[in-house]
Each structure stands twice: as structure tokens, then as C-alpha cells.
Amino acid sequence: MQEDAVLAELIWGLATSHVPSIGAAMDNGKTEDPYWKPLFDGYAPAREWMAKHTPDVAIIVYNDHANAIELNMTPMFAIGTADAYKVADEGWGSRNVPPVAGAPELSEHILVSLVDEGFDMTVCQELEVDHGLTVPLSVYCPDPGDAWPCAVVPILVNVIQYPQPTAARCLALGEALGRAIRSFPKDLKVAVFGTGGMSHQLAGARAGLINEKFDRMFLETIETDPAALAALSREDYIREAGSEGIELIMWLVMRGALGPGIRRVHETYHVPASNTAAALALFENLPGGAGQPSGASPR
């Protein structure tokens, strides 16, 4: 590649819960209800900032919830490479939000880069996207009108069947993803979303678990020392954050992509959103700060 080639730029990373009821609250005009208002008020400063820093493409790291992927096959990591993604009917009607436009060229570039680095991604040429992807889009853009303001590259992580990928592997995937984005030879602004969490457990005697102490530690450490979070075991995540709180490993993919030079724009934490602790953390990727995160090995 030439020295003066124009390359894509990774402008920000957003960590956000993707609870279905957050989407439903927006779809049904309930964001001013006393139950939901504190959460949406907490989003406001981040939304204002993001509206002034709009990406051309959002890479959304999420998991499917028994909608596009069934238990006959469980890809550990997968990437969408399609022109467009239909919004899934999860069993209670599709969300009334626009279809999701893909970014097939960027998808292919990322796929090839990741496979070259040893991440053998499953490829999805057709993928119906569920709340795990559409709710974060709504968190970013509450009123999309007829079309979302950005194209999307979906990246899926298996978080619902043990063994999930390790937290360390998720961080490493993110680091490789960051290199892939920054080597895409087009003038394109890109944002990365890490979704899910925070602590929650839906079933079993511990259903209703919230662990604010762990969540606050995670919110802080994701900025300052992601390697420490990557060192936690799956059992640590399940024990501390609940059987579904292990979704937090997907935040590490986003964090790995950003690299060390970041600035926290905003964060908010709220309990409860349905059965979960909900949070948002927005990080600006600082220009010139795109060095290698600790532990990353450049190609």
C-alpha cells in the first residue's frame, strides 16, 4: 500500500446494553415514563456527541438470541458480508425500524484481514438481525426515519453456549479488527459498537442478579486496563456478572479495536432495564493515538 493512500478512520467506540425492552420503550413512545426516563436521560449527552461525529459504517459486535442462529450450528465468531440485513421477527413481530444496509466491501476486507491473522470467521451471506444489533443502532440513532444513518458490518460472538470464546480472544479479535479497519483503502469513517451486558441472569435461582460493584469495576477498567478484563475467566464472568452477563466479553472486541489513545466522552449506568443493569460508555478514538494496544502484535 502506498504511503499517501487514503485509509479508513476509526472515530469512536460505543459500549451499550442491547436489552429488547430498551428498543420497545423507544418503539412504543415510553422513553418519558418514570421507569425509562433516567436511562434515556443518561444517553442524551452521548447521543448529542455522536450526532456530531457520524460514521459512514458501524461495526456492531453482538450476539444472536435464537433468531438467525439455532443450536444446530454455533459459530464462535461470525461476520455478515451481505448488501442488506432484514430485521428479525423474534416471535413478537419485527421491530418497526428500517432494514439494515450492509457494507459488503468493508466486510470482505475485514474478513480477509481477520482470517489472515488467524481468526477463522464464519461467513454470513444472509442474516436476519435481532435486538442484539437493532437496539444498539437505536441507542445511537433514536429517530432514523426511513433509513439508518450508517451502513453496518455485523460481527457475531457466541455468548449463549459454553464454551464461549475467552475474553482474551475477544480482545485480540478486536485488536485485529482495528488493524483491519485502519488498512481499508477508502476514505471512510467507522465506529465500532460492543454490545450486551451489563450484569444479568435470566434463569435459575440467581435470576435477577445484578452486581453493581463488578459492573462499575468493568466500566472503569475497560478504559484503563482492558488486559485485566481479558484475564478474567468465563467462570469469573458467569459468577460475577451472571449467566447472561458474560455478554460483556463483546465490549472487549470494541475496546481492542480502539487502541490505547482514547478519551471517554460519556458514560451512564442504570438499574434496572428489565432484568438487567444497563450501561453505555462512549470513547473517542484520539487522532494519532492509533498505536498498538499492549500485547498486540502488528502483522
Q: Of all residues in this chain, which one has the CB nearest to Fe ion in the complex?
A: 196
Q: Which one of the spans 90-98, 104-112, 116-124, 220-228 is the region binding other proteins (CB under 8 A)?
A: 90-98
Residue 3's binding partner among Fe ion, other proteins, none (Cβ under 5 to 8 angstroms by kind) is: none
**Using CB under 8 A, which of 47, 49, 54, 65 touches other proteins?**
65
With CA atoms as reference, report the closest residue to 59 among 153, 137, 141: 153
**Using CB under 8 A, which of 9, 27, 90, 223 touches other proteins?**
90
Contact letters for Fe ion, residues 177-196 (x by CB under 5 A): -------------------x
With CA atoms as reference, report the closest residue to 243 among 207, 219, 195, 279: 207
Cell 448488501 -> residue? 83
Residue 178's binding partner among Fe ion, other proteins, none (Cβ under 5 to 8 angstroms by kind) is: none
Q: Nearest 5°: CA angle at 138, between 273 and 211?
A: 25
CB closer to other proteins, 1 vs 71? 71
Cell 442484539 -> residue? 132
Helices 234-241, 212-224: axis angle to 10 degrees equals 130
- Options 18, 109, 200, 270, the catalytic residue: 200
Kindly state whether residue 201 participates in binding other proteins, applying the rule CB under 8 A.
Answer: yes
Query: Site size for other proteins, by CB under 8 A?
Result: 40
β-partners of residue 267 are 281
What does the radius of gyration of the chain's CA atoms come to, in whole angstroms?
Answer: 18
Kindly state whether residue 92 participates in binding other proteins, applying the rule CB under 8 A.
Answer: yes
Kindly state whether residue 285 participates in binding other proteins, applying the rule CB under 8 A.
Answer: no
Catalytic (active site) residue 270: no
18 vs 275: CA distance, rounded Å = 12
24 vs 234: CA distance, rounded Å = 30
Grid coordinates of 212 = 453493581
CB closer to other proteins, 247 vs 267? 247
Kindly state whether residue 194 participates in binding other proteins, applying the rule CB under 8 A.
Answer: no
Catalytic positions are: 131, 200
